[in-house]
Structure 1
Amino acid sequence: MAETALVLFTQDLRVHDHPALARALEQNDRAVPVFVLDPALTGRASRNRNAYLADALADLRATLRARGGELFVRQGETAEEVHALAQETGATDVHLSAGVSRTAQRRLDRLSCTGLRVHTHPGLTVVPPGALTPVGGDHYKVFTPYWRAWEGTERRPVLPAPDRVPVPSGPEPGTIPGHLPEEGRGVPARVPLRGGEARARTRRNDWLDGGLAEYPDRHDDLPGRATSQLSADLRFGCLSALELERAAHARGGDAYVRQLAWRDFHHQVTAAFPGITVHDYRDRGRTWHEDPDALEAWKQGRTGVPIVDAGMRQLLDEGFMHNRARMITAAFLTRTLRVHWRHGVAHFDAHLYDGDVADDHGNWQWVAGTGNDTRPNRGFNPLRQARRFDPEGVYVRRHVPELADLPGRSAHTPWAQDPPPPGYPEPIADPEGG
């Protein structure tokens, strides 16, 4: 048995159901859990994600210390810092969860060049990307056949948290910078979301006990806040997607489990097509417009279309947006304004707590008609969406204070008034035209 191995934490900031950590402890006397604050990542992350990350790292360190271990925190280029820590501890192996993005692949390539033996493990999704492939293809391009295969796939066991995490003596733990939430892009959320595995597991338990049963009927209810709101916890891996899926499945939460399958679907697409961040997954010959003024109005929630503005202002206020609102706002930008999806995903990424390469780009391209949607020209009328999913205008009035005094569904169409409510703009485009 080897003596010491490194465990590089990335988007898996937990100790429950952590295959890389479990294997390192199984094969070695000691483990060196490490997280590298790489400026290439923290500098372009949203301030909200950096704030969540700071919480999550503090929580992970406390959890490991309670098990006799430590979280070693380093700052710099990831492969260089891992290699230096390996030399300091005598480790020859590094274990980590397999990612799907181009950044994850570059990190893996650079680690492989250090001379360390690199071992990747599942852990970021329910079913590992690449585990399911259609006949004659390298990945599923349409969700429904993927979902059928995904449902019938045998799951790996959910792993318990280790009782002990022995670590070598000598290395300095390193500090978690107090200024980390100040780095990055976007504006901090008005109501911050606190990160870490302990808080995530509490939110998960509250959701399973109090919200899961109503999810099939209420998940599109914009004012009801009836979704799990665990997306940031999954994005940082403070929750295991597999453990959550198994718990929801055991309680009959099939509608919610299907959403976890969508997450897996986008991850396997990104693993096969990492260029999804910059290239159309399917080139439909779209013609995009450069319209800086319209883009800025959309970013600030000043389009004059209340349901769109409500979603955009929720994003600025909370670093979160209901999934239905994400589709409405993305469709307005790409289908009504004809502005390129790359501008939209960049703005979302600058503010979201849950900003994730695979989910964000997969969903944006789906809405824009360049992704995996089998109906790329489907209509997406924001007014009909508003009347259906916010019938009394509660969501709009909550997030657009200029419209707070308008009664009921009239909050959806203030431009019908002459003049419009004070301080609220006229629509920058025909909302029926998308």
Structure 2
Amino acid sequence: MSERRLKILSIAHPAVEAAAGRLRYHPFLGRPDLDVHLLAPRRWHQFGRTIEADPPGDPGVTMHILPIWFGRGGPMSWYLHIYPGMRRLIREIEPDVIHLWEEPWSFVALQAKVLKGDAALMLEVDQNILKRLPPPFESIRRHVLRNTDHILSRSPDATAVVRACGYAGTVGEVGYGVDFATFGPRQAAQRTPGLRLGYVGRLVVEKGLDDALDALARAPADVTLAIMGEGPHEASLRRKIAELRLDGRVSLRGWSSPAGVADFIRSLDALILLTRTTAVVKEQFGRVIIEAQSCGVPVIGSTCGAIPAVTADGGWIVPEQDPPALAALIERLRDDPALLDAAADAGRANVARRFTYDAVAGQLADGWISAFRNRRPA
């Protein structure tokens, strides 16, 4: 590799928000071997929200905010967008590596592959269920993967998917990071009687909240559940809460800011993530797991996807769709708070060891260097 600084163009729609997708780039500030540019959309639509890009000024990167086309494309909207200004930007930067925090079947991945010139191409993948995509997405995926020089994978299952779709190159691991300034530990306080459980996320049937309610109905009356989120399953959950006569033990509230989410998590004794595996759903990571652990709150997770590996010793794993097993665990934790304290300590150690932004930045840098070394001729 040349001694000059390696020029990187990272393309990532999550970087539309400074407090979310950009934080992992901050550790590149002052790094002498990398010149990192980050491209994000001027406006992004997801889960019914319209997000306007935060202004540039983040450390560690040169930020580029450009308009996109096809940002509202129905159920495939995340995969249809392209940047009309990408060709000009690539000519200006002349990157050595183009990195996409996007799936390989997306139009923007195809656009980058077509316009990349001599740059190496690296993709960061999350998809962990192998399924044949409808035209033209399956053809795009296989074409892009054949022309990719390095993959960063969120899980072994995600690696297996790209291998099955024709990718034969090198693979590295990449996780998510935690913003410790926001998701910091709670102050020591005297524990109150009972057990306060909580959930943060979309309200969809696949997240297993019905199992949590069934378990709660079996648990002692001083065990409660607080839910933060929005989604199409909310009305059904409210009906079930009423049917099980849990009105006084279950609360629901809408989304909050990251600081509000952190305050909510710190009010809990344990966080639950009980995702159910289906033909189209398998938990890819579970970022709320490491946010909770960073706050000093242990996690009760299901066996779905990456949940056990991410949780590690910072919580407990129960079988999917098994309310009796969950109820038994809940009662054990209620009766022995020392178990909660031990898992909280293990969870903080898990995050400090594996999920800092410095760790993620190191994984990104290793991937970029590998992609540059492995790049094929234009």
TM over 0.5: no
Choose between structure 1 and 2: higher helix proportion: 1
Instruction: Please classify the TM superposition score into its range, dividing by the shorter chain length.
Output: 0.3 to 0.5
Greater strand fraction, Structure 1 or Structure 2: 2
Structure 1 length normalisation: TM-score? Answer: 0.31
TM norm structure 2: 0.35
Q: Which has the higher contact order (CA 8 A, sep 6+)?
A: 1
